[in-house]
Chains A and B, each alone.
Chain A
Amino acid sequence: MYRFRHHRPATVDEAARIFSDCEDPAYLGGGMTLIPTMKQRLAAPTDLIDLGRVDGLSGIRVSGEEIRIGAFTRHADVAASREVIHAIPALASLARQIGDMQVRNRGTIGGSVANSDPAADYPAAVVALGATVHTNRRRIAGDDFFKDLFETALEPGEIITAIDFPIPARAAYRKFPQPASRYAIVGVMVAELGGKARVGVTGAGPCAFRATALEEALNRGFDAAHLEGVEIPDAGFNTDMHASAEYRAHLVGVMAGQALAAL
């Protein structure tokens, strides 16, 4: 790890101000990606702005049709939240499948979403549930948030403060884990929201996306029969030693089918 300065702001505004004053700053959420990267000397920010003591970034609140989850809320807290388990059990279940216990106790939803790791779990829920990402500057629709591999709609210095998840009529998440890392080779959330199907996919492509072909099929009826024969084009899908693009495309269909069965 290289030397860096550590900042611990008390407010979002203060954090953003520090960010704009530093040469090569980085926000620190749970640190589950950034810290290992720094330890491997692959990242070398001059300043770490630790969001852990910023007021009001943590917590889960149900309001009417939505659940609001503060950006600094840990995965373990989402997994164990009575409100989440009651309103969107699929989201609690997804959180329970992230990493291991240590990761879940440190990692935050904001950090995960802001990183846009192609194999992270939360992004599948953000797009499948049509979440809204709140930042210190604006609100970003979940559909517009993930842009590419480790790229989001966030501008430099912008901080996620909370994410609103609309409560679906029903939803389920199924993940095919990479055997070694247990990250998603493919993760699929199938949801029914306002009478319509939404299918969010993580792991398969450079970033999370909605599988429109599957949604159209399910809009004809939430029935496994409708998924049969739906082509998932693998163009642009990830290929690595654990799974080819072709296999990932196949798994999108399989995981969607399993999620559907679990609805």
Chain B
Amino acid sequence: MGNPVTGIGAAVVRREDARFITGAGRYTDDIRVEGQAYAVFVRSPYAHARIVEIDCAQASEIPGVVAILTGDDMQADGIGSLPCGWNVTQKDGTDMRVPPHPPLATGHVNYVGDPVAVVVAESLETARQAAEAVAVEFDELPPVVDLATAQVSAEIHAGITHNLAYEWELGDREATDAALAGAAHVTRLDLVNNRLIPNAMEPRAALGIHDAATGEHTLYTTSQNPHLARLILSAFVNVAPEHKLRIIAPDVGGGFGSKIFVYGEETTVIWAARRLRRPVKWTADRSESFLADAHGRDHLTHAELGLDAEGRFVALKVHTVANLGAYLSTFASAVPTYLYGTLLAGQYRTPCIHVEVHGVYTNTAPVDAYRGAGRPEATYVVERIVENAARETGRDPAELRRLNMIRPEDFPYQTPVALVYDTGNYEQSLDRALELADYRGFSERRRQSAANGRRRGIGFACYIEACGLAPSRLAISLGAGVGLYESGEVRFNPTGSVTVFTGTHSHGQGHETTFAQVVSHRLGVPFEAVEVVHGDTGRIEFGLGTYGSRSLAVGGSALVLAADKVIEKGRLIAAHLMESSPDNVDFEDGAYRLKDSNRSMTIQEVAFASYVPGNYPDGLEPGLSEKAFYDPENFTYPAGTHIAEVEVDEQTGVVSLVNFIAVDDFGRIVNPLVVHGQVHGGVAQGVGQALLEVGRYDATGQLLTGTMMDYCLPRADDLPDFVVDTTVTPCTHNPLGVKGCGEAGAIGSPAAVMNAVTDALGVPDLAMPATPEKVWRELRRQREQA
């Protein structure tokens, strides 16, 4: 049952929005404490250099400077290297090769923006001034910037030959080669997946406080996963013991993955606060975000898809070179491997798949998970090559997909690349999308566009993703350093309100609304009576945070388990109070009812009784508060069809996205407003990748796209009104039947848009982003050939 206005499935307006849009949010930079000093980082202006000397003499004399600290000071205090949390085993069975990653560089700098020293001063202006006055002598070394040649360039990290972190493979190489050799047709494609720079609205920030009396360290920071940050800073970086380190991620203005990771700056801030006995505050400016936030994507791929004479896929072979940047960021190793290679089956029954990935170091900012993390890259490979296969063999791209799709009766479906899909109905999403796109009317629309000097193209992406990260046993067996379960606590307060604690973190996702919907629905208490607490290791027992579209599927499931424990304990109390036995008491819509009787009491009355246990079951603990850990037994597999339609201006090369349809299967939906919002945002980001965005370095490793003036994020006027719809096959293995919706938009849309662009242009490929000049040059080439 549940409340139709606020329960599961209701389009509840997000309760957190009022504070966000009225400026009442409380972000890290809003928090000021007595005596706080300000940190500014001295960064490397070179992509690759040896640090000869750091001369702080002149800077230290500037009035107001508290201290200038370097990587050597940090090492002397026993602060360790920033670890990568996922060990990828290479195809030869050895571990991946990981260079040291000191929070402040020691000895060498490896990308432009690598922090070298920190200035702490009484004011931000003084800190900036002193940072300029720190004289660092560098001995420049040849930078390795170009991904294609990085493996045959100078060694960046001593002993890591060919700049290779790992050579990894998945799938059956021999079977795949054999199937390709016997294929009636093989489509080949070389693809670039362009580097992206995340640009969350709120830049990273940190405020470190050390209480000398208790030894407690408190770090306010922009984190998507404060408990994980605490674990890493404590266990691996040696900042403070876990029980003396509290991490609070208050309101956080977006992350898209970039705030999952443990970075040098935040680490430095909490260490400096203890060393200097002063609270220390650092807030990145936008230029620092561009330089030093982990970037995303950046792959070079060669792919081959074999088809039999009827158009059935017989094999897919993929070779990818993935840029990891200068160091191995927190989850960087897993993104182009386990979050990428495992997704190459897509929605199809391709029997043989083999993928080999070379993870490569370059003198660029570290590359790690960015909205979708591996799955957009996989979808791009599969959906671009499937589209080309349809064109090359003269088949309708929708029908070729349909022919090869995994059918409802095939589930659970074991792919050749490790995953077992639990459920889905891919044709249903495809058909709905074709209908919404008026696919039949496309040729007429194309004719009309041509009459106006515009070429029209249509493109599909039938994507799949693995979300709900992750079954711990599986993840750990594949190299994860932590489990990927989630914790939740449901606590009745004596007066009947409920405080919910979740180990996930909301930085734009709307958990304060959706999780309250889930819990109020389950417990049958008013939505308004449920408060959701997240983002504080001091208040929440444990958690793994928010990424990989996991929060509802994993964190929400933990809350369901905790709520069910609350209900069961309440049943014992209710049975006692109604003088019956627990199995004679039903619970529904917030009330315990005696079977075959009209006696009942609300769960809130039971909660009060639990805290005032005068008349109470013998041996039962007072109070009504329960915790649960939920470890998923499988990933969830959201999937769907995106269709993009573009027009290309013949004169200027400008690509206009004129229509975009997203039909997604996210399983059961808790709040359609929030889901649609996630799809809209994700699609906008994916369209940005396809048409506008690229993070570009010059040959010396200077970031050319280091400001909003040059890095083109999508704006409202770059986008049409999206048509968004959903189909539902409930997830079979979590109690909510949900799959996750945060990344789908960014996963499906780049391939859909580029399939449309290449359809309009009649070319096999065009490198993203499809900028006007690039398109114009292609149009001109065609005119000259004609």
Contact = CB atoms under 8 A, between A and B. Distances in A.
B132 A41 contact: yes
Contact of B771 (A179, A183, A251): A179
Contacts of B777: 247
Nearest to B780: A250
B355 to A, nearest CB: 32
A40 B771 CA distance: 29
A235 interface: no
A41 B128 contact: yes
B96 interface: no
B710 A181 contact: yes
Interface in A154-197: 176, 179-181, 183
B474 interface: no
A244 B653 CA distance: 14
B128 A180 contact: no
Contacts of A1: 125
Contacts of B712: 179-180
B776 A247 contact: yes
B652 A251 contact: yes
A217 interface: no
Given A247-B773, A251-B652, A179 B696 contact: no
A241 B704 contact: yes
Contact of A180 (B132, B651, B710, B772): B710
| Interface size of B as a range | 20 to 34
A180 B711 contact: yes
A250 B771 contact: no
Contact of B709 (A176, A181, A257): A181
A26 interface: no
Contacts of A5: none
Nearest to B691: A179
Interface string B705-721: 10011111100001000
A247 B773 CA distance: 7
Contact of A250 (B696, B709, B710, B776): B776
Interface in B652-710: 652, 692, 696, 704-705, 708-710
Contacts of A2: 129
Interface in B129-182: 129, 132
Contacts of B708: 180-181
A62 B718 CA distance: 38
A204 B412 CA distance: 59
Contacts of A179: 692, 712, 718, 771-772
Contacts of A254: 651-652
Contacts of A242: 710, 771, 773
Most chain B beta carbons < 10 A, residue from A179, A242, A254: A179
Contacts of B129: 2
| Interface size of A as a range | 10 to 19
A241 B652 contact: no
A243 B125 CA distance: 37
Interface in B731-786: 771-773, 776-777
Interface string A214-231: 000000000000000000
Interface string B103-143: 00000000000000000000001001100100000000000
A188 to B, nearest CB: 13
A244 B773 contact: yes
B652 A180 contact: no
B581 to A, nearest CB: 69
Given A241-B696, A244-B773, A176 B652 contact: yes
A42 to B, nearest CB: 12
Interface in A4-52: 40-41
Contacts of A183: 709
Interface string B625-667: 0000000000000000000000000011000000000000000
A17 B710 CA distance: 39
A1 B652 CA distance: 40
Contacts of A181: 708-710
A251 B710 CA distance: 19
A180 B711 CA distance: 6
A180 B709 contact: yes
Nearest to A2: B129
Interface string A49-72: 000000000000000000000000
A227 to B, nearest CB: 12
Contacts of B773: 242-244, 247
Interface string A249-260: 011001001000
A241 B710 contact: yes
Nearest to B128: A41
Nearest to B713: A180
A25 to B, nearest CB: 22
A251 B654 CA distance: 11
A242 B773 CA distance: 8
B715 to A, nearest CB: 9
A48 B712 CA distance: 32
A247 B774 CA distance: 10
B408 to A, nearest CB: 43
Most chain A beta carbons < 10 A, residue from B128, B129, B711, B773: B773
Most chain B beta carbons < 10 A, residue from A2, A176, A180, A243: A180
Contacts of B287: 40
Contacts of B652: 176, 251, 254
B768 to A, nearest CB: 14
Contacts of B651: 254, 257
A244 B777 CA distance: 11
A2 B62 CA distance: 14
Contacts of B128: 41
A103 to B, nearest CB: 13
Interface string A99-142: 00000000000000000000000000000000000000000000
A44 to B, nearest CB: 11
A124 B351 CA distance: 61
B437 to A, nearest CB: 26
Contacts of B713: 180
Nearest to A176: B652
A183 B712 CA distance: 12
Nearest to B652: A254
A247 B780 CA distance: 11
Contacts of B771: 179, 242
A180 B769 CA distance: 13
A247 B775 CA distance: 11
B411 to A, nearest CB: 43
Most chain A beta carbons < 10 A, residue from B713, B718, B772: B772
A181 B705 CA distance: 12
B342 to A, nearest CB: 35
Nearest to A183: B709
Contacts of B705: 241
Contacts of A247: 772-773, 776-777
B623 to A, nearest CB: 54
A243 B710 CA distance: 12
B65 to A, nearest CB: 17
A124 to B, nearest CB: 18
Nearest to A179: B712
A250 B651 CA distance: 9
Nearest to B776: A247
A176 B129 CA distance: 39
Contacts of B125: 1
Given A183-B709, A243-B772, 19 more contacts: A1-B125, A176-B652, A179-B692, A179-B772, A180-B692, A180-B708, A180-B709, A180-B710, A180-B712, A181-B708, A181-B709, A241-B696, A241-B705, A242-B771, A244-B773, A247-B772, A247-B776, A251-B652, A254-B651
Interface of B: 125, 128-129, 132, 287, 651-652, 692, 696, 704-705, 708-713, 718, 771-773, 776-777
18 contacts: A1-B125, A2-B129, A40-B287, A176-B652, A179-B771, A179-B772, A180-B710, A241-B704, A241-B710, A242-B710, A242-B771, A242-B773, A243-B772, A244-B773, A247-B772, A247-B776, A250-B776, A254-B652
The list of the 4 closest CB pairs from A to B, nearest first, reads A180-B712, A181-B709, A179-B712, A247-B773
